C-alpha cells in the first residue's frame, strides 16, 4: 500500500534558517561587537562605496574601535558581476581575511556571499554554483550584513544572485549555509538613501511581499510576514520617499523590507523577479526599478489564479472592499500598486531604459533556461506570457 502525499503542489514546506538580526536606531554601532562575536578578526568590507554618505568610513571606524582589522573592497556595482566577486575574493585572500562584512543593499550582500562560496571552494569559479546547492560541508566563514536600503532582504536569505557577464544573465544560487551570520538593519543608515533609491528599493520590497503572499510555495508563516510588509509599505513608502528624514516612515520601511525578505526566503518570488533578473543580467538595469515597472502588469496577469489573495492585498493597501467580488477587489489591489508607483515618480517604461522589442525573445529564452522564480508564481507561466508581459511594459 502506498500513501498518497500529493495533497498540494508543494506538500513539504521548507523553512530556511535565517540569521540573528538586530533592527533599530543605532544598530550599526553594534557592528564591531557583532563582527568580533562572529569570530572575525580581519574583515573584508564588501560594498559599493556608498559615496557621498560617509557610511563606509563610519563603519570602518566602528569595526576598528572593536579591534577588528578591516580591508575594504568597494567595487560592487548594481547586478553584482562574476568578476567583482572574484576581485573581492582576491583581496580577501591577499589580505588574509577571515570573514566578511557586507554593507549596502542586495548587491553588496550577494557579492559577499559569493566571496564566501569561492573561498569555501579554494578559489573555484563562482559560475560553478548556479542553482540549488547542497555543500557537503556547510560554509563556516562568517558574514555580518549591514543593510542601508529599504528593499533588499538579502541580509536574511540563503540565496545570492550574481551576473554571468559572458552569457549576460543573472545566476541564482541557493545553499542553506550562505545566510549571513548576523544581520544589522538600521533606519539611521536608510535616512541617507536618496528619494529615487528609496522608491526603487521600496518597490522591490513590495514585490517581495506580493510575490511571497501569492506564491504557490506559501505557508501560513510566510504569508503573515508578507501581508504585514504590504501594509507597512502602503502606509509608509510615500512618506519615506517624500521626506527622507521622516524617522517613523524610515523605521517602518526597515521592518517591511526585512519581513518581506524573510517571506521570500521560504515562499520564493515570482515572474516579476524572473523578468527583472533577465533585464539586470542582459542590460544591467537596476533591480528595484525593473520590479517597480513590471509589478502591477504582472499581477493583473496573475490575479485570475487567486483573486481572494489579491483581495487581501487590496485591504492591506487600504482599500475598503466591502460589497466587492474577489475579482473586483483583486483589480483594486493592482490599481493601488499602480498608484503607489506613480506617486513615487516612477513613470518610465522599459523602452525608456533601453529595452528594445527585438530583445524580448532573447530575454524570455534566458528566463526559460535559467530562472526558477517563475516556478512559484501563482499563475502557471508560459513563455509566450512572459513575452507578452515584456511587450506590455515596453
Q: Where do contacts with Fe ion occur on this chain (CB under 5 A)? A: 204
Q: Please, which residue, 204 or 297, has the CB nearer to Fe ion?
A: 204
The cell for 372 is: 526558477
Quote the least distance from Cβ 201 to Fe ion, whole Å: 9
Quote the least distance from Cβ 63 to Fe ion, whole Å: 28
- Residue 83 to residues 75, 107, 132, 273, 284, Cα–Cα distance (Å): 10, 13, 21, 23, 14
Q: In what order do the strands lie in the sheet with 69-73?
A: 20-23, 182-185, 143-147, 99-104, 42-47, 69-73
Say whether 121 sits in a helix, a strand or coil: coil
Q: Please, which residue, 105 or 307, has the CB nearer to Fe ion?
A: 105
- From the centroid of its chain, how far is CA 38? 24
Q: Please, which residue, 204 or 331, has the CB nearer to Fe ion?
A: 204
Residue with cell 521570500: 264
Quote the least distance from Cβ 8 to Fe ion, whole Å: 25
Distance CA 111, CA 161 (A): 8
Q: Please, which residue, 97 or 264, has the CB nearer to Fe ion?
A: 264
Eight-class DSSP state of 181: S
Eight-class DSSP state of 382: P
Quote the least distance from Cβ 204 to Fe ion, whole Å: 4
Q: Please, which residue, 151 or 187, has the CB nearer to Fe ion?
A: 151
Question: Which residues, other chains included, contact 76 with Cβ-Cβ below 8 Å and sequence gap of 6+?
Answer: 46, 47, 48, 49, 84, 88, 104, 107, 108, 111
Q: Please, which residue, 63 or 162, has the CB nearer to Fe ion?
A: 162
Quote the least distance from Cβ 288 to Fe ion, whole Å: 7
Quote the least distance from Cβ 17 to Fe ion, whole Å: 20
Task: Return the residue nearest Fe ion (CB atom).
Answer: 204
Say whether 337 sits in a helix, a strand or coil: helix
Amino acid at each position: 500500500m502506498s500513501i498518497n502525499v500529493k495533497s498540494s503542489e508543494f506538500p513539504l514546506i521548507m523553512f530556511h534558517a535565517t540569521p540573528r538580526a538586530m533592527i533599530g536606531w543605532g544598530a550599526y554601532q553594534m557592528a564591531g561587537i557583532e563582527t568580533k562575536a562572529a569570530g572575525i578578526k580581519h574583515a573584508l568590507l564588501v560594498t559599493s562605496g556608498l559615496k557621498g554618505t560617509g557610511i563606509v568610513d563610519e563603519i570602518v571606524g566602528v569595526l576598528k574601535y572593536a579591534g577588528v582589522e578591516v580591508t575594504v573592497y568597494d567595487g560592487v556595482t548594481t547586478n553584482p558581476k562574476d568578476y567583482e566577486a572574484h576581485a573581492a575574493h582576491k583581496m580577501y585572500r591577499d589580505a588574509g581575511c577571515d570573514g566578511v562584512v557586507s554593507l549596502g543593499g542586495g548587491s553588496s550582500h550577494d557579492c559577499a556571499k559569493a566571496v564566501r562560496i569561492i573561498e569555501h571552494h579554494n578559489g573555484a569559479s563562482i559560475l560553478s554554483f548556479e542553482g540549488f546547492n547542497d555543500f557537503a560541508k556547510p560554509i563556516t566563514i562568517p558574514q555580518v550584513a549591514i543593510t542601508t536600503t529599504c528593499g533588499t532582504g538579502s541580509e536574511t536569505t540563503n540565496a545570492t544572485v550574481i551576473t554571468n557577464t559572458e552569457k549576460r544573465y543573472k545566476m541564482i544560487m541557493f545553499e542553506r549555509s550562505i545566510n549571513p551570520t548576523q544581520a544589522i538593519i538600521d533606519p539611521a543608515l536608510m535616512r541617507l538613501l536618496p528619494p529615487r533609491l528609496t522608491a526603487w528599493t521600496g518597490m522591490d520590497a513590495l514585490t517581495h511581499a506580493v510575490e511571497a503572499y501569492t506564491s504557490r510555495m506559501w505557508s501560513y508563516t510566510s504569508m503573515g510576514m508578507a501581508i504585514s510588509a504590504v501594509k507597512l509599505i502602503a502606509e509608509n513608502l510615500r512618506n519615506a520617499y517624500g521626506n527622507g528624514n521622516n524617522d517613523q516612515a524610515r523605521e517602518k520601511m526597515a521592518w517591511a523590507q526585512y519581513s518581506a525578505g524573510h517571506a521570500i526566503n521560504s515562499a520564493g518570488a515570482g515572474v516579476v523577479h524572473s523578468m527583472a533578473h533577465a533585464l539586470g543580467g542582459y542590460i544591467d538595469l537596476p533591480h528595484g526599478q525593473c520590479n517597480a515597472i513590471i509589478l502591477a502588469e504582472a499581477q493583473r496577469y496573475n490575479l485570475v489564479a487567486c483573486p481572494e489573495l489579491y483581495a487581501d492585498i487590496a485591504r492591506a493597501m487600504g482599500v475598503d472592499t466591502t460589497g466587492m467580488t474577489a475579482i473586483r477587489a483583486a483589480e483594486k489591489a493592482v490599481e493601488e500598486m499602480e498608484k503607489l508607483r506613480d506617486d513615487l515618480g516612477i513613470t518610465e517604461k522599459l523602452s525608456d531604459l533601453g529595452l528594445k522589442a527585438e530583445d524580448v525573445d532573447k530575454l524570455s529564452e534566458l528566463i526559460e533556461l535559467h530562472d526558477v522564480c517563475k516556478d512559484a508564481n501563482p499563475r502557471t507561466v508560459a513563455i509566450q506570457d512572459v513575452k507578452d508581459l515584456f511587450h506590455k511594459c515596453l
